[in-house]
Structure 1
């Protein structure tokens, strides 16, 4: 486990919190074309714009009912921003930890809509998956496996069969992550939750983070932040997984790491990594990269699927795409 990557990310976020204004002026966001095939996904004239800024560490973007919901992991808030850039705070102390220490990664993280119109979110502080209803009331969904508390759920996605899958690294255990005395599980798992049953389907990754399915649901993608690598697993009935393969091992270079990711309707991965967001074919070929002046943590397709929002440190960015992204199973 390369803890140095996590430390580097934390230092970068703290520095950007202070200096984002100057950084943004000197390092404008841009789309870097690596392969001509990128032109079919992003128009050469497309520009990345900053929609809102002034946050602590943005994560977990979800387009829900006409606005982008997003998390502030270190700020312990859930917020929403509309297309015009108007920001509203939805929930304070959204990580669910009473009296949280300031600046720690204990806020909310990934979000996905459920079939009843509510939103499920990963609460790093409370160490659970929670439900947010239309009145912004928060209730727990799952927080333990065989009596042992989860680490700090990070990102989540529904499979085509309606099962919920989520990653559970120790980032929210702020007294040493894996060495934190509060850690109860011996591994950092990828979980499947179906029919009230929680199952650890992957338990051999160091820091499982981003998670997504291919458009046909036949392949599961998981990023391991510790080694900046994205893996693919064939998915069979009942959530059984086949042997994993490496999609891409990203080279070090630039701040950030293999964090959140999404998939477009052609099967390409849009994945955070060192230096920005890479657009990657299912075979691991990099078609292009979106470079930002801040560390990109996650992303979400919105509206008709052709607007990409990116949560990056203190800001939220937006880019119009030619290809549509796969929207969450129960998107509204």
Structure 2
């Protein structure tokens, strides 16, 4: 039996909210098309941490701030989606951390950083926003020394999206959006991926997007085509769901566990993902919260 959890709106007024993160007592997310990283306090007070809107983009691409993560020294990494460049913010300045144009064939998407500072980045495999057809692509890895490679040992994925690592660092999960599947891998001491397996099928044409893990090993993921977020166990059983009201929230696409006990589920919701300027102009993107039954513990992100 699936338990339905109520959701409450925390804050609104953004373009398309994505990539929720809890770090060092603060909740972060990306305001995609406004090209910034924002924090939100429990009372809804917001602060722009990084504003990339004035950045001179490589190859004339639009700046879209996508996945984020934190290095062991606390610096913030930000995926510049269409540039295929990872930026790093040290609290004062923002510079290039890794140029992925030689290894990423398509817009880069989400990321997770392991305890050693190794970065796993998903890419769509195609440019959805200009009408290209879905195709497979590998995860991109940035090693702690800054070198980038594709995780060819893991094989290609069909629209890899949200990505997370278990508390012990031995399991990585990601959403294969275009086949509605959560896929898991073993992670060895050198960061190589193996043992590819299906964690869960989440229903045909559900399109899982952003995700996170809890300390019991369950995955929370936003089912973009269904407008809700679900908690799914290894094997596919859905135990909990959260469905923010569509007239106020639009659709829920990504989620993350945070709060002092990491048991507050943050949901990223929005109305307009394809028309970037309209999304910014209307500012209907929002963050909602629900109380989860299990903490994230020390899972990543």
Bin of the TM-score, shorter chain as denominator length = 0.7 to 0.9
Rounded Cα–Cα distance in structure 2 between residues aligned with 1:94 and 1:203: 35
- Does residue 51 of structure 1 match 2:10? yes
Matches within 5 A, 1:27-42: 34-35=1-2
Aligned match of 2:173? 221
Aligned match of 2:158? 206
- Does residue 324 of structure 1 match 2:295? yes
2:142 to 185, 193, 202: 193
TM-score for the superposition, normalised by structure 1: 0.73
- 1:279/1:246 Cα in 2 relative to 1: closer, same or farther (>3 Å)? same
Instruction: From the two aligned structures, give the one with the greater strand fraction.
Output: 2
- Does residue 112 of structure 1 match 2:82? no
Rounded Cα–Cα distance in structure 2 between residues aligned with 1:171 and 1:57: 20
Rounded Cα–Cα distance in structure 2 between residues aligned with 1:176 and 1:214: 35
TM-score for the superposition, normalised by structure 2: 0.80
- 1:266/1:328 Cα in 2 relative to 1: closer, same or farther (>3 Å)? closer
1:269 to 193, 199, 219: 219
1:244 to 196, 204, 212: 196
Rounded Cα–Cα distance in structure 1 between residues aligned with 2:290 and 2:36: 24
1:87 to 46, 51, 54: 46
3-state DSSP class of the match of 1:154?
strand
Rounded Cα–Cα distance in structure 2 between residues aligned with 1:92 and 1:151: 23
> Which blocks of at least 5 consecutive residues in structure 2 are unaligned?
271-284
- 1:75-105 CA-to-partner distances (Å, cap 9, x unmatched) read 333222111011233333359564999xx98
Query: What is the number of equivalent residue pairs in this alignment?
Result: 277
Rounded Cα–Cα distance in structure 2 between residues aligned with 1:299 and 1:155: 12
Aligned match of 1:144? 100
Which is worse superposed, 60-69 or 312-321? Answer: 60-69
> Are the counterparts in 2 of residues 247 and 283 from structure 1 also a CA contact under 8 Å?
yes
- 1:288/1:246 Cα in 2 relative to 1: closer, same or farther (>3 Å)? same
- 1:132/1:193 Cα in 2 relative to 1: closer, same or farther (>3 Å)? same
Aligned match of 2:238? 286
- 1:221-266 CA-to-partner distances (Å, cap 9, x unmatched) read 111111121111222232233232212222247xx72111100111
> Are the counterparts in 2 of residues 217 and 235 from structure 1 also a CA contact under 8 Å?
yes
- 1:309-328 CA-to-partner distances (Å, cap 9, x unmatched) read 11111110111224211446
3-state DSSP class of the match of 2:18?
strand
> Are the counterparts in 2 of residues 48 and 317 from structure 1 also a CA contact under 8 Å?
yes
Rounded Cα–Cα distance in structure 2 between residues aligned with 1:168 and 1:300: 19
- 1:70/1:100 Cα in 2 relative to 1: closer, same or farther (>3 Å)? farther
Rounded Cα–Cα distance in structure 1 between residues aligned with 2:36 and 2:241: 29
Which is worse superposed, 223-232 or 290-299? Answer: 290-299
Rounded Cα–Cα distance in structure 1 between residues aligned with 2:51 and 2:79: 15
RMSD in angstroms over aligned alpha carbons? Answer: 3.0
1:298 to 254, 272, 282: 254
- 1:157-189 CA-to-partner distances (Å, cap 9, x unmatched) read 12244421111225667444569xxxxxx9632
